[in-house]
Amino acid sequence: MKEGVVQQLVSEVKTASNLHWNYRRLKSIPEEVVNEGHHIENINLKYNQLTHLPDNFGELRCLTTCHLNNNDLTSLPESTGQLSCLQSLDVGNNKLKTLPLSLGSLLSLRYLVAVNNHLSAFPRELCHLKTLSLLMLSGNRIKQLPDDMGELTGLQALYVDHNNLRELPRTLASLPVLVRISCCSNPLAFLPLTPFSSQPRIFLDNCPELNYLTLHPFLQHSNDFWEPLQLQAYGCFHNLRLDNNNNTVYITTTASPAHNTSYNNINTLLIPSHIQTVTNGAALTTRITSLKELCLRFLWTTEHQYRNDNNVGRNNEDRNKRNKSNLRPELLPKMLCEMLRYGPVAKCNNIKCSSSSSSSGSIFTHVSIVVVNVSVSTRVLNESHNVPLVLFFCCDSCSKKYIDYLDMDQQAFSLWIRDKLRNNCLRVE
């Protein structure tokens, strides 16, 4: 960089709190920016040729907005986590392979944009950012998002298009203000199987491996009626082709990929790897749920009842009693604690089950499945074809209770699903 240009930039640093240095062909940031710019609030360094930032970049303690997109950055300094006032960080269109774990200390951060980089993961340490409302990670190489994302309680919009995601964290469904999920062009096999606390609009265009529907999250259960979620899924549900003479679907988990089974891939439906046993809820036989599954449901329900009791308010004596009876993590096997930490993998589709305080509404390791055929249109208005609709139940007996409930209920949705169960039920293996 020419000396005259450097002097001009340094002079600007001393007098301005907002630096607009876009399109300057800068290959590095002058040291004087950090040494003399402790008062700077906004930095715009878009469309330059930066390959790195100063190691002491975090000394810009007043910085609230930082735009570094469209450069050649391969990493961010750990000191970035010292920018305690930072609210907006845009590092999109660079060559970043990782995000520094120190970003988890930016407790004022509201907007994080890291699109079109070389990221292979999103650090779980960044899931402590309660104020984060916009997270954009599209155009990377991310294969899995951490279940800890359920801690991003302020998140309103998530963009993860054009990655390598096979599934989304089930904890996303618990986020209270989430209004938009965009995960187009991913090899997604399914969406979270628990009902969303909010009603986000979900974009799933060009996810060809998504070949079945579920009641959750496509239908949001609220009180005693069903509310549809907004879903856009062009280019999905085209991989499955059922034989008209043998309507059989095979179930496997993501822990045992479909290509490792003896079954034809296009007739195989993937479910979460946490599910260890699957039974056919439409079969005449009823299998008893495992003791491990019942234990997990009991512990989960007990903990939530304890929290609810404390939330509504009780006298100190009652609270002390509940505290003494509450099961502490150190008394449980580590494996169970890990499962309980993130909550159920799925929620029972039986309305009467999932809307009650009964432990049978939660599904951790065992699921009873019923599959029916439904007609959908996903490309153009006049094109439609049949795809499986999978109903998840906590046990075989609960699926039978749900069918009995439908026989008595006269709501439009109940009549529709009852007709499907009677006429389009598929054999599950």
Task: Band the pLDDT of 215: cuts 50, 70, 90.
Answer: confident
Q: Is the pLDDT of residue 384 over 70?
A: no
- 390: β partners: 214, 371
8 A C-beta contact, residue 343 and residue 194: yes
Give 266's contacts (C-beta < 8 A, 6+ positions apart).
Answer: 211, 239, 240, 241
Task: Report which of 12, 32, 28, 30 is spatially closest to residue 20, judged by C-alpha positions.
Answer: 12
* pLDDT at position 263: 41
> Which of 165-174, 244-253, 321-330, 344-353 has maximum average pLDDT?
165-174
CA distance 184 to 20: 34
Task: Give the pLDDT band of residue 227 (cuts 50, 70, 90).
Answer: low
**Mean pLDDT for the stretch of residues 383-403:** 85
Chain position carrying tokens 């029972």:
348
Per the CB < 8 A criterion, the answer to whether 410 and 265 are in contact is no
CA 346/CA 343 separation, integer angstroms? 9
Residues in the chain: 429
Q: What is the amino acid identity at position 422?
A: R
> Taking CA 255 as the corner, what is the angle to CA 299 and CA 246, rounded to the nearest 5 degrees?
105
The sign of the dihedral angle between the CA atoms of 67, 73, 75, 79 is negative
**pLDDT above 50 (res 319):** no
More confident of the two residues 156 and 386? 156
Q: What is the pLDDT of residue 412?
A: 76
Query: Which residue ranges make up each domain of the chain?
Result: 280-428
Q: How many angstroms separate the Cα of 63 from the Cα of each of 9, 82, 244?
A: 18, 10, 63
Task: Give the distance from CA 174 to its chain's centroid.
Answer: 9
For 374, list phi and psi in degrees, rounded to 5.
-130, 155
CA distance 398 to 171: 24
Q: What is the pTM (predicted TM-score) of this model?
A: 0.88
